């Protein structure tokens, strides 16, 4: 039997079973979910600031080195 035929035959049973088993657990962690999302947002903002500062620093260093090398070649 092909994969698609098996999916048609057993798909509804698997989906219904997984929803029935996962729903109580999803409702139980609702309070900690918002805390987790807030912590992830804070961490992401911190990482974004660090990456932005790093890219600007690397661009400034690259420009400075190129300017010095160009000046020394004259």
The answer to whether residue 60 sits within a structural domain is yes
Per-residue pLDDT of the chain (74 residues; tens, 9 = 90+): 677 677 667 765 555 555 555 555 555 556 688 888 999 999 999 999 999 999 999 999 999 999 999 999 87
Looking at residue 59, its pLDDT comes to 96
Looking at residue 61, its pLDDT comes to 96
* DSSP assignment letter at 14: H
The answer to whether residue 10 sits within a structural domain is no
Looking at residue 41, its pLDDT comes to 92
The answer to whether residue 15 sits within a structural domain is no
Structure tokens at 70: 């160009």
* DSSP assignment letter at 29: T
The answer to whether residue 8 sits within a structural domain is no
How many domains, the chain? 1
CA 9 to CA 1: how far, in whole Å?
10
The answer to whether residue 28 sits within a structural domain is yes
Three-class SS of residue 53?
helix
> What domain range is 48 assigned to?
24-74
CA 51 to CA 56: how far, in whole Å?
9
The answer to whether residue 71 sits within a structural domain is yes
């Amino acid at each position: 039997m092909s994969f698609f035929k098996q999916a048609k035959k057993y798909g509804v049973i698997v989906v219904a079973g997984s929803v029935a088993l996962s729903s109580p657990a999803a409702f139980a962690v609702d309070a900690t979910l918002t805390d987790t999302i807030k912590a992830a947002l804070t961490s992401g903002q911190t990482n974004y600031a660090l990456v932005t500062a790093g890219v600007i620093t690397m661009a400034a260093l690259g420009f400075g080195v190129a300017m010095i090398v160009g000046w020394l070649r004259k």
